[in-house]
Structure 1
Amino acid sequence: MSSASAQPPSVCAAELAQRRLMECECLAAMYGPMAGDAGDRSSFEVVNPDVERELRAAVDAWEASGDSVAAALSVRAVSAPLRVSLTLAVPSASGGEDEPGEPGGSGPDRTPGRGTVTLGASLPTNYPAADAPALELSATHLSRDAITRVLRELRSLASERTARAAPDGFECLSELAQAAADLSAAAAAADDEARRRAAESNLGANGDGDGGDEGRAHAVVRIDHMNDGKGYTKTLRRWSRELAVDARVFYARESSGEVPKGSEGSIEGPPSGPQGRVEGVYAVLGGDGDDVRSFLTRLRTEFVDVDARGARCKERKSTVMCLRRAGVVKPGEERVPRFDGFECEGYVGADGLEDALARFNLLHVGAGAQRFQPAG
């Protein structure tokens, strides 16, 4: 149904604006900073507060004067639709039952590995009486196909509550928020179950699991430097957990003493990972091919480090040395061994880096100028 065919009389425009503003106030009370749940990652904001102020001024004038026609003209003169953003912590598929938290944490995490989903809504002039909000959806953990499916259902629900319920319509953002969380939890659970069954199938078909490589991939990426080694690797660890991508991060460190006799390099470093600025970083990744690619995409598109002024920045000096299906090896080399979880290791010198990459049979990644180069 088009907005032209279902457009309510102009005298209703101020009332509709009032309903939009009241709905935003309710959502701010439910999900805003004063909601009171310190463990929740949910948040709500009006993306264009200038539009909110214009609408509020028109509604205040209408309430003071009672001139609906003048107020309607003021509302329709507002330059853009009101836009809001709602970020929700995705609940566990069990409906909120306790699950293990982070290692070393003080208690259970409400959303271990589930991340968040962000619902964006643009509220047109005739919302909620006739036009449905225009919706966008993003998530920290869902695949593109899962996001598309969830968004399709949310748009159908929004249309049912507004355009199909004209002339009065229905304020639906709180219902959409709950549906977004529930649908995302179900999608995440389905993805987890699919990965579990695929892993079991591979193990069953390949005995000890060494050959269960269908769909899996390995990558080696070189990161020139990290200004904030601790914060950077914390982000990589979170991506590893959210995307189910196993990772080993090697970074150059200055030798703290005499190099052991008989060796010109060594692997060392605290288990907590790098601190401060580090250089010559190499990340070895393993997992489902799509998940590994998502990891590499995040590395180039999301904030991971800080610049010299301390401002957050994206990674612009990384090089993917190789990205290939698991089991694909160069002549004379062996397969990459299985590894799990996320770990950081420091290395000293070229030999230390060679030892690290050789343990994963990835010593000869890249070619020519793209072959690995130790820091310094």
Structure 2
Amino acid sequence: MSDDAERRADEISALIVIYDDACEVVSDSRARVTLKDDVDDSKCVVELRLGENYPSSAALEVCSTSTETLTREDEAKLLSRARACAEACAGAESAYDVLTETESVFREVSANARREARREAVKAARAKEAVEEEYHAVVKIDHMNDSVGYLKLLRKFCESSGVGARVLHAEPPEGAGKRVEGVFVALSGSNDGIKTFISRLRTEFVDVDAKGVKCRERKATTLCHRANSTVKVGERAVESFSGFETLEPYATENDLEQKLALLNLLHVAVSARIAIVARHVNRPLARAFKPSHRQPRASLVLARTVRLLRVIHRRGHLRAQLYLYIVRTAHAVEAVAARETTARRALHRAHGAWMGGMTTRTTTSVNSSGASRAYVAHSASEGTATMRFAKDVFAGTCGGITVTLLGHPFDTVKVLLQTQSSKNPVYSGAVDAASKVIKQEGFKGLYRGVTSPLAGQMFFRATLFFSYARAKEFVGVSPDDPLSYAKAGAMAWMAGTFFESPIDLYKSQWQCQLIKAKADPKYVSPYNSVVDVVKESIKHNGIRGPYQAFGATLTRNLPAGAVYFGVFENVKNQFAAMNADGKATNAQIVLSGGIGGFFYWSLFYPIDVVKSALMTDAVNPAQRKFSGFFDAAGKLYASGGVRAFYRGLVPCLLRASPANAGMLFTVDYVRRLID
């Protein structure tokens, strides 16, 4: 018997002693060992083959590992780890080591599988509970200007979300057209379905404003949202309903209360309601209508009503009942104000006092009569377009400042790498370019030429985001149509190109002077400032001077703008849909902006390289190297192949995510802040 054969026989004997009945000797060179997990008594059978040249020159062969509890993927992982251990121990007896390692991995994988099974069981239980549990909600909408179109959209939301709805609204006055007010929407269905309905109500264009322009719902309040099984003492569980139905309009508050009571949404006793109100208001409600020497009676009641409204806003399901109480209080205020106005007018007519006339006009403004509302609405509609323009411009200006300050150093490095010679490069990469600029000119060297883009980007971004806001209204964007944001983005960037192209041209021309000076120490820049670049371009090209490489800029901006805003808006909408309040958080907006910026540059960078080559070409047509877009692309390819179109990609991508994330977050945050 050879030495290897003796060693194999001894090793099999050792396995029999160690594993006893769990070790089965199939032949002189094969053994089958059963490993056990003590936690759940699961077993793993490992079959080993001790080859002819094992253990001196060959590794132990792990033929198979089989279990009854693990998936095929986990079994494959187990077999791979066992074979890796056998290969690592080649040249020595390794059966026990391999079995020990396999047993450890088997127990680890089994533990992970048990944890995953428990998680899946919990998820399934929660999903089952969520499916079985019915919820209800009541949403109050102040008004619908286009009630026909609005109700069609609500029906569509209900069908896609799988919830039932009952719509109540006040009886419209004569001559109101399609406008209705005092709308209550009662919802019934799954919790996720109701959340989806409310989210779409707040984020999509559902109505039109006074000028007929599509707008979102900004005056919707969720009065209650809870499970049907959430029943307090003295209440009756709310019954589920399905389908979409618009109930008959209500004429009075009592009529509304009766209709809500039919849906079992008014199950709080009157005594409980008054007790809660009295507990949260400084003085009893009975004293609200007593005269005061400090305030007019109507103003005092209005102040206390506002205070009560703030309390009610936080009271969940009780809001529907208390809202009816506030409506009655408001009507009482109007009656009091009307009586005071009539009395003061009579007094002023008797005495002819000018000061009294001023007081009368003040009191009349407190009274919410139809004429006053019409005047205020008319004034608001006149200033709406101007205010929207001012808000969009201001938010875009803030975004332009942010993107310039964050991205200009990266942009400087990108232009230096794009415009350097392929045969005699000055910089080996992005880090080398940045370090050399900082070493020679300090950190401010990275901001060389920032004057033009800082001034221009504020104007360009203001124009871009104003155009994007108008384009969204024109297209009628909706989360249900992801391409609608891409269409609006392409339209906005097409308009913005007319302002971006001159800014980019003068910035690139000024930055290019640095690379030319580094490549040729004897080179003397013909420009002392950005103003000299502007003068030179207009001198040689006239009014077309600022639009050098305009075609290349437009070629990049149309598809890139569609991707930029399309990705940003759709990713942000996905985040918003996952949140309970239907709004994306600040961190999610920043992440959405970073993703949009990354796709903007990574997909269309070669076109940007051609654009940069055309923009850094001589402003004098007689001295230019390129005759057009395709000529520039051909010469770039001849000089460096495909790699020539990706010079400066690294600093560009490093710039894209933080700069665009910061800009889009700034615009979104400022817009929400000033709204």
Place the TM-score, normalised by the shorter chain, in its bin: 0.3 to 0.5
**Greater RCO between the two (CA within 8 Å, min separation 6)?**
1
Q: TM-score, normalised by structure 1?
A: 0.37
> Bigger radius of gyration, 1 or 2?
2
Q: TM-score, normalised by structure 2?
A: 0.21
| Larger strand percent | 1
